[in-house]
Amino acid sequence: MGSRKRAGCLAVFAAAVFLTAGTFTGYCSADEPERVARKDVKIGCIIAEEYGFFSEQLSAAAESLSRQGLIGKYDPPEGVRPAQEVWDDICELQQIENAEFVKESFYNTDQMEESEMEDVFFHASDVDLMLVLGTAAGVWLTENAGELPFEYMVFSSADPISGGIVKSETERFNDISFAHVDPGRLGRQTELAYEILPFDSIGVVYEDSEAAYSYSGIAQLEALSEEKGFEIHRLHVDEPSKDNDYDRYYNELKAAYHELIPDIDVLYITTGMIEDKMLPWLLEEVHEAGIITVAETAESQVEQGALMHITMTDAPEEGGFLAQTLIDYLNGTPINELDQVFLITPHISLNLDTIEKVGAKIPMSIYLIADKIYGQKTDALSGTEKENES
């Protein structure tokens, strides 16, 4: 497409959502006091569950740390590996004197009982700082902060404020914590979906827990509902607790989607434990009924059939922010003075086959600014774009 046309569309898009994206503030200031670098900082890692994005963000952080000389040359793997393998690579490549990435201090709280978490984390005297990926782990640490012998930084939390990890963009609940905050991260996703395809009713299925309410963006969806006047239809399904629980989870999830069909125009596929490969089966009846599907979690869900995704996460950007935050901490910035705000650049992905199947009317301006379009019909769209440019 013509660069002038795309630039104009992008400018309108950015203005509509009031974003200053992909930026964070506060690292350079003439008034900032001189810091003394920390010494002998031992660093561990906690993930809330085995989730592909955690591994991708950790890998992106490793790339950034490698470029800035904190670890040796890091070659990112093809595909997604378990987060512990990425952590092992970081530990083996470390090459700075004032910090140590501790290989043995990697934990997955989804695989730990409450008593084990207390035994391990309340007595983790061999670690000074924990890098934490995920809401549930961040919430648990904050609730038990008085017992912790280490400081902690929380990343990959959809909304750490409503989740109870930090009080606000600038305020913490304690002096030993930090959390990445992207104001409006969840709200802008459904708001932009509404602007692109206005709807009267939306369906959502999520686990009936405080954590799921937070990372599924339900508070933001409720606020938008009040503003725009659409209805929310919701059902609850427990996420799988073990590998052998997935069959139950998928059957209940598909049944919930089926139950919502008569009442909704749009289905919001919230963050959960859905494997991308299951989406075609899960969404079959939904799309046959002509219902628009908006994926909360990832672009890969659009590749597997969801109609649209508007990025609320970006592993390279967030991994780079993690690395820079860690560097500032090692250079002497107190953890409770680190800037928590970092805004992710929004990207739109579409599935043209699903758009045709459900009969959705997407404005041509959205096709022109979409970052990725999936489906077998994309060749026809490319021809249309060329005609529009001529």
Per residue in 190-248, pLDDT (tens digit) is 899 999 999 999 999 999 998 888 888 898 899 999 999 999 999 999 999 888 999 99
User: Domain spans of the chain?
Assistant: 23-182+314-337, 185-311
Confidence of residue 29 (pLDDT cuts 50, 70, 90): very low
| Kind and range of the H or E run holding 99 | strand 99-108
DSSP 281-294: HHHHHHHHTT-EEE
Residue 20 has pLDDT above 80, yes or no: no
Q: Could you report the per-residue pLDDT of 256-307, keeping only the tens digit for each?
A: 999 999 999 999 998 778 888 999 999 999 999 999 999 988 888 999 999 9
**What phi, psi does 212 have (nearest 5°)?**
-65, -35
Contact of 234 with 203, CB cutoff 8 Å:
yes
The yes/no answer on whether domain 185-311 falls in CATH 3.30.200.20 is no
pLDDT more than 70, % of the chain: 88
Tell me, yes or no, if the two domains 23-182+314-337 and 185-311 fold the same way: yes
Q: What CA–CA distance (Å, rounded) separates 102 from 95?
A: 13
Are 308 and 293 within 8 A, CB to CB? Answer: yes
According to CATH, the superfamily of the domain at 23-182+314-337 is Response regulator (3.40.50.2300)
Quick check: 121 pLDDT over 70? yes
**pLDDT band per the 50, 70, 90 thresholds, residue 345:** confident
Q: How would you list the strands of the sheet with 99-108, edge to edge?
A: 99-108, 41-47, 129-133, 151-155, 177-179
The DSSP code sequence of 53-70 is HHHHHHHHHHHHHHHTTS
Whole-prediction pTM value?
0.72
Residue 69 pLDDT > 50: yes
